[in-house]
């Protein structure tokens, strides 16, 4: 993921850039903002992609071939721990909704 400090740096550059009348500075400021926005969009797409990938891998883990792969790679305990963690978070959210 893109580092948060890079976002801060880009915002700092964008907002601290002197407001001069020249067209060059206005174009540079707009380019800087566009760069920041694109980086943010890419970061959001990456988060969605990672979440989708994890969901697909967990679905695959429920199949016979998926279980065999987990067993052969030695990742069974890691997978079960992650699934348990997600289940516990889901229970906590449901408890909050019911309260």
Among residues of the chain, what percentage have pLDDT more than 70?
A: 69
Tell me the C-alpha to C-alpha distance, in Å, between residue 73 and each of 46, 66, 79: 26, 11, 11
Q: How many CB atoms lie within 10 A of CB 13?
A: 15
Neighbours of 5 (CB within 10 A): 8
Q: What is the pLDDT of residue 49?
A: 85
**Owning domain of residue 54:** 4-98
Report the distance separating Cα 97 and Cα 89, nearest Å.
12
The pLDDT tens digits for 19-47 are 544 545 555 666 777 777 888 888 888 88
Look at residue 1 in the predicted model and tell me its pLDDT.
Answer: 47
Instruction: Give the residue among 88, 99, 75 at the shortest CA–CA distance from 67.
Output: 75
pTM of the model: 0.47
Q: Three-class SS of residue 90?
A: helix
pLDDT digits (tens, 9 = 90+) for 48-64: 888 888 888 888 888 88
Mean pLDDT in residue range 7-25:
58
pLDDT for position 12: 60
CB 54 within 8 A of CB 61: no
Count of structural domains within the chain = 1
């Amino acid at each position: 993921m893109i580092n948060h400090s890079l976002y801060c740096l880009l915002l700092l550059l964008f907002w601290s850039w002197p407001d001069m009348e020249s067209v060059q500075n206005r174009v540079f400021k707009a380019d800087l903002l566009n760069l920041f926005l694109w980086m943010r969009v890419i970061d959001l797409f990456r988060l969605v992609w990672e979440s989708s990938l994890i969901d697909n891998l967990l679905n695959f883990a429920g199949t016979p071939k998926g279980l065999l792969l987990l067993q052969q790679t030695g990742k069974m305990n890691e997978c079960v721990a992650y699934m348990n963690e997600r289940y516990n978070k889901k229970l906590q959210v449901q408890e909050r909704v019911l309260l």
